[in-house]
Amino acid sequence: MRLFVCLIVLLFCGCARLAHLDELLTLKSVSDSQRDIEIYLAKQEKGFTRLEGDIKNNRLRTGEFKRAIIEKYSEPVLTEKPETEKNNIKEILLYRHPTNYFKSDRIYLYFDAEGRLASWELKPAQN
């Protein structure tokens, strides 16, 4: 009799797990996505902090290619291609802290037609 009761309990437990498998997989997917977002934001924050430090300590050099800048400092928040060319600037990258939108310094990197860093601008956050 005990064996029969154990088999019934196991059978019902197994059915309950299978009945909610889709929901469990969805929760796992959400958890994985949240972890991916946290990793991405940490990478973006680290890149922004490194770029800001390099500018303030005069370590950023003109002439570097855009792809090298992105590899070193991560992806920009915004990429803009100005409609009118001014001072041979073909592309502008905007960097700022990934979560402190309004309390963050902004960094603009200006690239020429060859994709090389021509200049940059650090705009302090407004209080």
All domains of the chain, ordered by start, with CATH? Answer: 21-123 (3.30.1450.10)
Position with higher pLDDT, 51 vs 17:
51
Instruction: Tell me what percent of the residues of the chain surpass a pLDDT of 90.
Output: 57
Do residues 117 and 64 make contact, with C-beta atoms less than 8 angstroms apart? yes
In this structure, of 62-66, 95-99, 101-105, the range with the lowest mean pLDDT score is 101-105
What are 65-92's pLDDT values in tens digits? 999 999 999 999 999 998 777 778 999 9
Distance CA 116, CA 82 (A): 16
**Contact call for residues 73 and 51 (beta carbons, < 8 A):** yes
**What global pTM score does this model have?**
0.74
Q: How confident is the model at residue 30 (pLDDT cuts 50, 70, 90)?
A: low
CA distances from 23 to 18, 19, 28, 99 (A): 10, 9, 9, 30
